[in-house]
Amino acid sequence: MRAAFPALLLSLAAALPLRAEESAFAQRASENGWYGPPRRERQAREGLLLSFGLGGGSAYLSNEVAGRTGAFDLDFRLGYGFSDRFQLFMDFAVDAGRYPQSADFASWTFTVRGQTVLIGDRAGNGLNLNAGVGVGGVDYSDGYYTGYSSGTGLALAGGLSYDARVLPWFAISPELFVNWHQIPNGPGYAHDVASAYGLRLNFLWYLK
């Protein structure tokens, strides 16, 4: 019992400098504003992706004998950037136009796309390639509150864009785009198709 008491005193004496060192380190960490390991810095294309685009191009409906016609393009995207190398987003695009002596039309596609950076920097500037698959259709209107819609068919879409960062979270992104989809017809009839290509200007946000 007498031998155990001095051993206990020695253990307490050895622990005191360690406690004092830990207290001094905690005080220094508090003074420097550091309370744990530093957070990982997000990459420029990482985070919630939101995009709105306007443009124009050439549209084609195979059930119209006039061939191609001019079209106004509207595009909306919502997705997520997992890294500078890969982003995944939903895309809704509309190409609207009119054939001579025919009804107005709006060819639309809804696709899920993947995007990768071909050439770029860590600031978020660079050349991107996107492609995806989904569904599409055509709505028709004669301008007198009457119209009709086609069935929904398979859609393929893609684009080649260049992101130019204006702010760390905002970029202007001109894009060459291509959209294609089927226009289903009744049983026993071959499907028609619709396609569009052109140039649009996207306004792109990456929200951290």
pLDDT tens track for 67-89: 889 999 999 999 999 988 899 99
Same domain? For 102 and 71 the reply is yes
Are residues 96 and 66 both part of a single domain? yes
Q: Are residues 67 and 107 in the same domain?
A: yes
161 by DSSP, 3-state: which? strand
Residue range of the domain that includes 107:
47-207
Is the domain of 31 the same as that of 51? no
Task: Look at the chain and report how many structural domains it folds into.
Answer: 2
List CB contacts of 18: < 8 A, sequence separation 6 or more. none
What pLDDT sits at residue 145? Answer: 60
Per the document, the length of the chain is: 208
Same structural domain for residues 25 and 127?
A: no
Average model confidence (pLDDT) across the chain:
83
Kindly state whether residues 94 and 189 are assigned to the same domain: yes
111 and 153, same domain (yes or no): yes
Q: Which amino acid is at 55?
A: G
Q: Of 68, 90, 64, nearest to 79 (Cα)?
A: 90
Q: Average of pLDDT values for 28-44?
A: 59
Q: Are residues 30 and 81 in the same domain?
A: no
